[in-house]
Every structure is written in structure tokens, then in C-alpha cells.
Amino acid sequence: MACLHDHSCEEHDCSSDWSLYKHIDLSKVSALNEAVSGSVKSVFRAWEQRLNSSEGHLESNEGDPELIVFIPFTSDVKIKSISVVGGADGTSPAKMRAFINRDGIDFSDAQNMQPVQEWDLVENLQGVLEYQTRYSRFQSVGNITLHFPENFGGETCQIHYIGLKGEATQLKRDVVATIVYEVMPNPSDHKTRAETGGGLSQVE
């Protein structure tokens, strides 16, 4: 389901709605089949910058237009709608499938699994189209995986911008935050009494 953004943006500030990009954990964003490793991080920007892809865009490998984008969040979010700006000349993605709260999905998993929701996209070079989600299913999203299986006939699949609209709750999914554990013993962490100047040990 696509909704046309049919009001001019002077009346209210659209960018505040599309502010979920602030809650994305950018260091852990990853993509599969990207031509340039790490380029996926450049597609998450503010709404006003959605057409400004001077920092690069996400492109798939030559001859293979499939892409998977894994987006983890810093806290649980509710996603209302998604906007995707693709490339010109048939390089825009034609379909989008979303999976929620699943780690490590690769292409064979994505093709076999039933997505939480699936959309047919159209070429959206101006970024005015948004695709609504079935909101009830997108209530507590810790991470989302977007799979773009096809494009409009180009050699590669290009994505210039991905926008997410919704609300962020302040909850975090797994709270294993500040536990420090040792995988290997580090002698400098374990000072014995002798080293710190303790007395002679007595053997009775």
C-alpha cells in the first residue's frame, strides 16, 4: 500500500515524523551483496536529505540485483511506514519484504521464509511515496531486515535512501549491557597478595 505524500511540507514538519533514523544502531547495520562494503550506512539520513546522496548510495554487485539490508535499533521502535528512494534506469527495487527481529538472515533464508509483510514498489525517485505497514505487526521492533529480490530490469539495484516513520519506545530488547566477562584470563587483572606486597605465606 503506497500513500502519496500529497501536501506541501510547509504546514508541518515532515522531518520529525521520519526521525526513526536517529534510533538506528549505525555501527551494526549490514547488507548482503553490496558492491562496496559499508556503503549501506549512507542510506539512512534525515528526511530533508533524502535526495542528497553525495555520501554514496547502496549498490548491489554487477548482474545481481538482490539486496538484503539488516537494520538494528538502539531501542524497540514501532514502524508506521517505510520510504525507499531507488536509482534511475531500472535500478530501483521492485519488491520489498520485511522480517522482524531475526538475526543473520541470508539469501536462502530470505527466499524460503514468509516475510512479516511484502510490498510491490514503484520507482520513487523523488521520495514522495511511503509504504504503510500493518502496524499491529510492527509494534516492538528491535531489528528489521529488508530483502529486495528484484528491480526494474537494470544491471544492479541501487538504493539512495531508506526512511522509517514511527515511534521509538525507550525500552531496549536485551539488557545485557555492562557485564564484563573474561574469555581468557589476563594475569594483570588478578593481582595476588604476594605481588601486592602481602606477607610471607606460611605452610604449617
Partner 1 sequence: MRNGDYFPNRFQAQADVVNLICGAKTQSNPENTVGVLTMAGEGVRVLVTPTSDLGKILACMHGLEIGSEMNLAAGIQVAQLALKHRQNKKQQQRIIVFAGGPVKYDKKVLEMIGRKLKKNSVALDVVNFGEEDKGKAEKLEALVAAVNNNDSSHVVHVPPGPSALSDVLISTPIFTGDGQGGSSFAAAGGVSGFEFGVDPNLDPELALALRVSMEEERAKQEAAAKKAAEEAAKQESGEHSASKDVTISENANTGMTEPENKTKDQMDDENALLRQALAMSMGDSSSAVATRDTEMSEAATDDHDLQLGENLCLLAKFHFLTCVLFSFVFSLSSLTIRSDVVHYPLCLYLCSILLMLLVIFLQYCCFP
Which of the stretches 43-51, 59-67, 80-88, 160-168 binds partner 1 when contact is defined by CB under 8 A? 59-67
Report the 3 state secondary structure along 62-130: CCCCCEEEEEEEEEEEEEEEEEEEECCCCCCECEEEEEECCCCCCHHHHHHCCCCEEEECCCCCCCCEE
Cβ atoms of 144 and 110 closer than 8 Å? no
What's the min distance (Å) between Cβ of 23 and partner 1?
19
Binding residues for partner 1 restricted to 133-172, rule: CB under 8 A: none
Nearer to partner 1, 75 or 107 (CB): 107
Length of the chain (residues): 204
Is 33 a binding residue for partner 1 by CB under 8 A? The answer is yes
Which of the stretches 13-21, 45-53, 106-114, 130-138 binds partner 1 when contact is defined by CB under 8 A? 106-114
Cα 118 to the chain's mean position, in Å?
17
Q: Under DSSP, is residue 165 helix (H, G, I), strand (E, B) or coil?
A: strand
Number of residues near partner 1 (by CB under 8 A): 15
Is 61 a binding residue for partner 1 by CB under 8 A? The answer is yes
Cβ atoms of 82 and 163 closer than 8 Å? yes
Is 27 a binding residue for partner 1 by CB under 8 A? The answer is yes
Cβ atoms of 191 and 185 closer than 8 Å? no
List the one residue from 13, 64, 118, 195 that touches partner 1 (CB under 8 A).
64
List the one residue from 4, 7, 8, 104 that touches partner 1 (CB under 8 A).
104
Interface positions with partner 1 (CB under 8 A): 27-28, 32-33, 37, 61, 64, 66, 103-104, 106-108, 183-184
